[in-house]
Structure 1
């Protein structure tokens, strides 16, 4: 294992994404501790699908700690259409045949490369980021950390879900065989500045923010896909970033931990759309396209384990977090991912 006298070097994969940017912000705002060196990397620094590039990245930085955020992600409708791609990446028509070897697998390959490279350079701790979509479709609520492998996930995103579940399996195997402290966090629906606001490929809340922006600008009605009845727990990216730092410094279990607001803070998609409309000053008509899939009706998660560790942690109120995200999107519309 790496020598603690060398200081703490924290490598963040997926550092240019939603959660990576949030961690950068709170670190820049003073959350870093003496002796910590933060290294944020993206696909521009290394293609984590490629084993050699991943090893080279880890050899270059030799991190003592890793926050692993890099993944191929998407919203409900992209997941439904490309389940295989979320397990592995297929060859696109425009890609050359000689590139096949480095593009066959996406999420599984990324995770395997990161964990193995971390082990090889003696990284003391790896924190991977999972998702509540990994939980069984047929289950009791609220779901908790013990229920991950109790049945198949929802059919709408089984490829992504099984790929993410395998991180938990790998973490346990690395601990059993080598004693590695490799763990994972399971956030509920994350949103905030620097999100992917693409209406078709993004997640529900940033997609709604973009829709409201366009509807307000054009003076048209706001059409929400689905019935608006499904319920979700949303966590603000800056809150999640603060919790990541706590996990980095204080949480020493290999078993994963759910990072979420409480069950009482669950809101419907309709309520989320209304909150966004209020935040952006949209006063037009709100309609629902019920020909579109709702996905899972609910994925209510328990944050009881988190609260046993952090009983006094204060989450940003949903309306305030939505307002801040909408304001950021409006100010950065031209540069935002959409």
Structure 2
């Protein structure tokens, strides 16, 4: 029986990483491509998933047996705060169309990608899979967060009413090749890599916003890709799984900046602008459920993963998503 896996948002950071793993892992291995498997990496040019008709045509074209649903309207803090309704509405439409079309086409399994921002703003740490709905999300991105939360609600409803095998994954902060390095609208690692690159190129100081003290769990996109492939093949429960390094793998923003300076080969002036806000100090998430189910997993060491991301950026600067540069 042929298996067709449709990856929505297939040309983004995580989609590209899944494609890389499928292309490079030994065929038939735990994370490698299997015989009779076809992988389709679709992007927004192929179908506007906010539109039910375009979503239907995409499914008619590929007839997927499985879906990894990564497509979303995403943005940095500023965009999330400014366009709350757009983030809420567009993501609700995308998710509803993908899930309902999957149900109509008798898709065997769907994994949707959530985000740790679905968790309540005021919550006891570490975060775990049982705390998603135990309070409102942070005010700054409540539109996006509620839309992503609703996927978990829909997964349960589709399972209870129709017996669908729909589940979700909750990654922590992802980074790697093919990330969005736009200075205005990127996450912390790609933003700092781009900033440091420009400081080296222009002979200007490298200034990092904040004190550098906050802690985050970062997962390398190639590791996350393997975990998605594992979840697709080996996990059949509606309850979400946090895909993350362990709580003991938290890295400070200063450690991130130090590693970037080293990887870029920056030797100029380097400082922290402590007048800028730090954001949450830490928001650790537990990966105990994941490791209990998988029986262990070897994560790429942070420095090695960061170095390979920087090298990719330097080699692909002209084609990378960089936005405007000075």
TM norm structure 1: 0.91
Corresponding residue number in structure 2 for 1:321: 305
- Alpha carbon RMSD of aligned pairs, Å? 1.2
Corresponding residue number in structure 2 for 1:29: 24
1:199-236 deviation per Cα after TM superposition (whole angstroms, max 9, x unaligned)? 11111111111011111111211111233222110000
- Alignment of structure 1 residues 1-338 onto 2, 5 Å: 5=1, 7-30=2-25, 31-88=32-89, 106-338=90-322
1:284-333 deviation per Cα after TM superposition (whole angstroms, max 9, x unaligned)? 23223344333322220000001101233100000000000000000000
Rounded Cα–Cα distance in structure 2 between residues aligned with 1:153 and 1:111: 19
Q: What is the CA distance between 1:81 and its match in structure 2?
A: 2.8
1:28-64 deviation per Cα after TM superposition (whole angstroms, max 9, x unaligned)? 1141001111111001110101110001111221111
Rounded Cα–Cα distance in structure 1 between residues aligned with 2:207 and 2:77: 16
Give the 3-state SS of the residue equivalent to 1:11 in structure 2: strand
Give the 3-state SS of the residue equivalent to 1:335 in structure 2: coil
Rounded Cα–Cα distance in structure 2 between residues aligned with 1:80 and 1:273: 26
Give the 3-state SS of the residue equivalent to 1:126 in structure 2: strand
Specify every segment of 5 or more residues in structure 1 that has no aligned partner in the other structure, as ranges: 89-105
1:109-138 deviation per Cα after TM superposition (whole angstroms, max 9, x unaligned)? 000000000000000100000111111111
Assess if the C-alpha contact under 8 Å between 1:137 and 1:296 holds in 2. Answer: no
Q: What is the CA distance between 1:247 and its match in structure 2?
A: 0.4
Rounded Cα–Cα distance in structure 2 between residues aligned with 1:234 and 1:311: 21
Assess if the C-alpha contact under 8 Å between 1:263 and 1:300 holds in 2. Answer: yes
Rounded Cα–Cα distance in structure 2 between residues aligned with 1:298 and 1:60: 44
Assess if the C-alpha contact under 8 Å between 1:199 and 1:207 holds in 2. Answer: yes
TM norm structure 2: 0.94
Rounded Cα–Cα distance in structure 2 between residues aligned with 1:295 and 1:167: 26
Q: Which moved more, 1:214-223 or 1:112-121?
A: 214-223
The list of structure 1 runs, each at least 4 consecutive aligned residues, that deviate by more than 6 angstroms after superposition, is: none
Specify every segment of 5 or more residues in structure 2 that has no aligned partner in the other structure, as ranges: 26-31
Give the 3-state SS of the residue equivalent to 2:230 in structure 1: helix
Rounded Cα–Cα distance in structure 2 between residues aligned with 1:190 and 1:323: 15
Q: What is the CA distance between 1:76 and its match in structure 2?
A: 2.4
Corresponding residue number in structure 2 for 1:92: none
